[in-house]
Amino acid sequence: MWRIAKEKMTELDYKIIATGSKGNAVRIENIMIDCGIPFSKMHEELYKVDTLLITHSHSDHVKEATYNRIREEFPNIKTYANYDVAYRYDIDKVISTEPFALKKKRIVIPFPGVHDVPVTGFVIRMKGNDILYMTDTSKVSPPEGMTFDYVFLESNYDERKLKELSKQYRRKGYDPYTNSVVRHLSTQKCKEFYYVNRKSEESKLIELHQSSRFY
């Protein structure tokens, strides 16, 4: 069990550059998570970054042209990702579920999600904060016993709206329960996780990857 020091959460410098099925890139302090958008849209933020974490291999989370530009123009940025991403791209370190340390007293604890490809979530410990980041998953299972100051979490669809619209989508040959529910986290599950696992009432929820059709 991971024991958490009782420290007051500190202000976190982060930017949601893009989130959703059209592309994802989120900067948390000097860590970038995913690069699934055009290079031009995240270029300026990369000057603040020394680490790139990639959650999984889908193109809205790692865009090949963007990743290649990052490797070429920002060689100081080190990339960490799971074996499935490493099979497709040249990265610096293949990660599993073992914690690893970064410079400036930062610790990253990877953990698996549930999706149609191997997906990795991250607990990041920095500046006295415990931060959770997880997207594209139907289940969230971070290390047991942890609570969080910041929760960056997928909130893909509203269960009530999905139920209301499911019949008309099925008539068109699209089953949202098969294509959405089994691969993504609902806003209800997102908020349930936050309230159960937040460190205090000051803990912050940042909802990610919201569907334009079902949120």
Domains of the chain listed by start with CATH number: 14-208 (3.60.15.10)
CA distance 105 to 162: 43
Predicted TM-score (pTM) above 0.85: yes
pLDDT in tens, 87-109: 999 999 999 999 999 999 999 99
DSSP class of 146: -
Burial class (CB in 10 A: 0-12, 13-18, 19+), 71: middle
pLDDT in tens, 58-97: 999 999 999 999 999 999 999 999 999 999 999 999 999 9
Instruction: Confirm if 155 and 215 have CB atoms less than 8 A apart.
Output: yes
Altogether, the residues listed in the chain come to a count of 215
Rg from Cα positions in the chain: 17
